[in-house]
Amino acid sequence: MVVLLLALCLASLGVGVGDVVGADREANLDLVMNSRLPRTLAVVLTGASLAIAGLVMQSLVRNRFVDPMIAGTGQGAALGILGMTILAPAASVFLKVLAASAAACAATLVFLGLVRRLPPGDPYVVALFAIVYGGVVSAIAIALAWHFDLLQFLDVWMSGEFSGIMRGRYEVLWLITAAMLAAWWVADRLTILSLGQATATGLGLDFKTTLRIGLIIVSVVSGLTVATVGALPFVGLVVPASVSRILGDDVRRAIPVVALGGAVLVLISDVCGRIIRFPYEIPAGTVLGVVGAAAFLFLIFSRSSRHV
């Protein structure tokens, strides 16, 4: 998978409007360093972090069919940015990221509180509720955006794409590495937490503290991603759920593979989006919506067939 990731990175550097192998070496280098390389790095960081955030959230909820970007967290982040835009339109990107992370945290906290009231034995009920809850939060954001004539701005945050990524406009994404390191730090505790509160507490785990750390990781990743490139659906669902079928529920063992899988999936979607209607682009979020939905259905039906 590492070789595939490197090959996709090289493809990302070479695909797009503008030839990087022409005679003008200075212009070619400028194109690569100011546009193609930042975009490729942003794609890799976003894909890896969203996949890890999905793995963390699935451990918190104890359900493999949950994704932060469709379960209210991503929608809450967009709502936070929208609120900051209305109240302080001149706010810096950092303040918008803080607002997005805080709103994502609040939305996720409500989701976790509500999902614990659902029957734990049926994973499909939780997945359906996650989609409905995300739709409700999204509807609130749309109503607020319509009232303040900001629907176009909201659409930018709700549809992830990388065409606007250039040097100087993506560096805040490097803060995501702190969240990924935090996930690695608490990986063993997240594995125990996924066993349930009673079992985890019996094994000596500080359940509430671990839950808060996981909540912060998911919220920070979602806030940074939505504020920088927009929401990208299904990455945090398909990749962790697929990896867990192979490696089991050991979070520490799964994190490197999940990160690689997320980066590869988003890179494939971004490169395909640049090729399908060249020289125009299809947003990576749109490609992921199609590919991710198909993969989600495959995971559901393959799981059902094993229980027949």
- Tens-place pLDDT, residues 277-300: 877 788 888 888 888 888 877 877
- Alpha-carbon dihedral of residues 9, 12, 14, 17, nearest 10 degrees? -170
Confidence of residue 245 (pLDDT cuts 50, 70, 90): confident
CA distance 22 to 62: 52
CA distance 50 to 176: 10
Place of tokens 């409700």: 136
Cβ-proximal residues to 131 (8 Å cutoff; 6+ apart), any chain: 70, 71
The answer to whether 112 and 61 have CB atoms below 8 angstroms apart is yes
Is pLDDT of 19 > 70?
no
Task: Say which range, 11-15, 116-120, 172-176, 289-293, has the weakest mean pLDDT.
Answer: 116-120
pLDDT averaged over every residue in the chain: 84
- Alpha-carbon dihedral of residues 184, 190, 191, 195, nearest 10 degrees? 180
Confidence of residue 55 (pLDDT cuts 50, 70, 90): very high
Confidence of residue 260 (pLDDT cuts 50, 70, 90): very high
CA distance 33 to 255: 29
Task: Say which range, 48-52, 61-65, 107-111, has the weakest mean pLDDT.
Answer: 61-65
Q: What is the pLDDT, as a whole number, of residue 191?
A: 87
Indicate yes or no: pTM above 0.95.
no
pLDDT tens digits, residue range 163-222?
777 777 778 888 888 888 888 998 888 888 888 888 888 888 888 888 888 888 888 888
Q: What Å distances lie between residue 134 and 9, 74, 111, 120, 125, CA to CA?
A: 32, 8, 9, 19, 14
Q: What is the pLDDT, as a whole number, of residue 305?
A: 47
Is pLDDT of 307 > 50?
no
CA distance 11 to 8: 5
Task: Say which range, 48-57, 116-125, 232-241, has the weakest mean pLDDT.
Answer: 116-125
Q: What is the pLDDT, as a whole number, of residue 256?
A: 92
Q: What is the pLDDT, as a whole number, of residue 290?
A: 85
Confidence of residue 230 (pLDDT cuts 50, 70, 90): confident
- SS3 assignment, position 247: helix
The answer to whether 236 and 46 have CB atoms below 8 angstroms apart is no
Query: Number of folded domains in the chain?
Result: 1
pLDDT tens digits, residue range 62-104?
888 888 888 888 899 989 988 888 888 888 878 888 888 899 9
Domain CATH number, residue 21: 1.10.3470.10
- For 190, other C-beta atoms within 10 Å of its C-beta total 27
Q: What Å distances lie between residue 127 and 9, 102, 295, 296, CA to CA?
A: 33, 23, 14, 11
Q: Which two tokens stand for residue 230?
A: 């927009």
CA distance 222 to 46: 10
Q: What is the pLDDT, as a whole number, of residue 18?
A: 58
The answer to whether 111 and 73 have CB atoms below 8 angstroms apart is yes
270 or 118, which is more confident = 270
| Percentage above 90 pLDDT, the chain | 13
Domain that holds residue 163: 2-306
Q: What is the pLDDT, as a whole number, of residue 308?
A: 41
